[in-house]
Amino acid sequence: MLTIECPSGVGYEVEVTAGLLSKCNLQDEIFLYTCHIVREDASLLYGFDSLEGRTLFKEIIKVNGLGPKAAMAVLSSFSVEDFVFAIINEQSNNLLKIPGVGKKTAERMIVELKDRLSKLNFANTVKTADNDVKLADGFILDEALGALVGLGYKENIALMHIKQVYTEGMDTRTVIVRALASISRSKQ
């Protein structure tokens, strides 16, 4: 667990993976992507050193029976690329290395995550048994769609404009800016 200290003097406890914690030194200034989860009895922050890590965390907690604790165990046991590789290639035996994950849970993770993870873009490629395979740029498109919906645009309208402007290799910021311009032109 890390404590984020704000200039105002307020500190926030953030759960992080074991790998990230081992890289941090006292008084280091670091950048974290966070996920805030509010439960009936707690308000919890989870921190990640990459956008891919946070996205994977959000996908894992959608699996029936898995919560934030299990998702953090996954991300402490595997790199993003290695976990995606294990899921896409249905390597349930590799998933048994995760604390608290048994055979049934490993199989459920594969069933529920395989299609979703194959649509996301984790560093553009993920190793598979057949060599490196390009994944869809779904990660970037998903982030852009979330941003436009957050700005108040209807999901179907935002998605239509994102698809019109997107070309392979664009970053999320560029997709958002171009989609906003496209939306603006269509209103004239």
Domain range enclosing 109: 52-119
20 and 76 in one domain? no
Answer yes or no: is 127 within a domain: no
Closest CA to 186 of 150, 161, 156: 161
Please check whether residues 56 and 44 belong to one and the same domain: no
Please give the Cα distance from 99 to 50 (Å, whole number): 22
Is 144 part of a structural domain of the chain?
yes
Give the predicted TM-score (pTM) of the model. 0.64
Are 103 and 149 part of one and the same domain? Answer: no
pLDDT at 142: 74
Decide: residue 76, CB within 10 A, 0-12 exposed, 13-18 middle, 19+ buried. middle
Neighbour count for residue 44 (Cβ, 10 Å): 14
Residues 62 and 13 in one domain: no
**pLDDT recorded at residue 134:** 37
Is the same domain home to 64 and 109? yes
- Same domain (yes/no): 83, 97: yes
Any domain includes 169: yes
Decide if 124 is inside a domain.
no
Say if residue 56 is in the same domain as residue 29.
no
pLDDT in tens, the chain (188 residues): 888 787 788 888 999 988 888 888 877 778 888 899 998 998 999 998 888 888 899 999 999 989 999 999 999 999 888 888 888 888 889 999 899 889 999 999 999 998 887 766 553 444 444 433 334 456 677 778 888 888 889 888 888 898 889 887 788 889 899 999 999 898 87
What is the tally of structural domains in the chain?
3
Longest CA–CA span in the chain (Å) reads 57
* Domain membership flag for residue 130: no
Residue 180: how many CB atoms within 10 A of its CB? Answer: 18
**Do 58 and 108 lie in a common domain?**
yes
Query: What pLDDT, on the 0 to 100 scale, is given for residue 68?
Result: 94
pLDDT of residue 118: 72
How much is the pLDDT for 136? 41
